[in-house]
């Protein structure tokens, strides 16, 4: 656990899952976000996309950050069959994503940026996730009863579809939820 916190931690994320993790850390932090367009150059692949977007989220804070602050940004993507699956824009989009993940392994990549007055650094963590075959009723119940629209790849590992459909993960569980907790705490410890 982080000891002797001498800097103000600002979580630049509206994700309720990331906020919940920070609440468990037992140190003071605030949430402040600045809307940006989460675009990336088409030549970027996998981890480069997540790192690029985490950096974009940090950029607006560079003008106002003070010496005693650390701004933490994050972006999570699902990388599957050489494509980035972001948040779905419709039920049909969510349905297509979930069917494409069925009975296959994909990567969940989270990049976490750390902006200080002196510089910006970024870490990334990749977890492999394998779904069993997802039948129509599992997918339709999930889409109608839970919220796939604020989640990369249209699912959350801690919700029903993850509990019933995921057969294996290789790597960090918390990364799939949206924040690689151990790695983030280690980086905060290094920066304070």
Which pLDDT tens digit goes with each residue over 107-119? 999 999 999 999 9
pLDDT above 80: residue 4: no
Average pLDDT of the chain, as a whole number? 94
C-alpha 128/C-alpha 79 separation (Å) is: 10
pLDDT band at 1 (very low <50, low <70, confident <90, very high): low
Q: Give the orientation angle of helix 91-101 with respect to helix 136-145, to 10 degrees.
A: 140
Chain centroid, CA 69 distance in Å = 22
Q: Tell me what pLDDT residue 3 has.
A: 59
Write out pLDDT tens, residues 177-192. Answer: 999 999 999 999 999 8
Q: Tell me what pLDDT residue 147 has.
A: 86
Domain layout of the chain by residue ranges: 8-191
Half-sphere exposure at residue 181, Cβ-oriented, CA atoms within 13 angstroms: 15
Kindly report whether the global pTM for this prediction surpasses the value 0.75: yes
Cα dist. 181→29, 94, 161 in Å?
15, 27, 22
C-alpha 120/C-alpha 107 separation (Å) is: 25
Architecture of 8-191 per CATH? Alpha-Beta Complex (3.90)
Write out pLDDT tens, residues 58-82. Answer: 999 999 999 999 999 999 999 999 9
The mean pLDDT of 87-115, rounded to a whole number, is 97
Strand boundaries in 81-152, DSSP class E:
83-85, 105-115, 120-131
Report, as residue numbers or ranges, the catalytic residues: 75
pLDDT above 80: residue 5: no
The mean pLDDT of 27-50, rounded to a whole number, is 94
C-alpha 183/C-alpha 168 separation (Å) is: 21
C-alpha 161/C-alpha 164 separation (Å) is: 5
């Amino acid at each position: 656990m982080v000891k002797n916190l001498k800097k103000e931690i600002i979580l630049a994320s509206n994700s309720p899952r990331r906020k919940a993790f920070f609440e468990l850390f037992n140190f003071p932090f605030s949430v402040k976000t600045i809307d940006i367009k989460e675009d990336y150059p088409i030549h970027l692949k996998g981890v480069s996309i997540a790192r690029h977007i985490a950096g974009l989220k940090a950029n607006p804070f560079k003008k106002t950050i003070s010496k005693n602050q650390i701004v933490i940004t994050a972006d999570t993507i699902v990388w599957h069959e050489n494509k980035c699956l972001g948040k779905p824009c419709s039920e049909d989009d969510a349905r297509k994503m979930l069917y494409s993940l069925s009975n296959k392994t994909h990567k969940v990549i989270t990049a976490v940026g750390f902006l200080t007055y002196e510089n910006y650094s970024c870490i990334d963590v990749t977890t492999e996730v394998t779904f069993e075959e997802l039948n129509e009723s599992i997918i339709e119940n999930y889409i109608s009863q839970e919220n796939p629209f604020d989640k990369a790849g249209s699912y959350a590992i801690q919700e029903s579809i993850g509990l019933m459909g995921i057969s294996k993960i290789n790597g960090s569980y918390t990364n799939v939820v949206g924040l690689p907790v151990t790695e983030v705490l280690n980086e905060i410890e290094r920066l304070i």
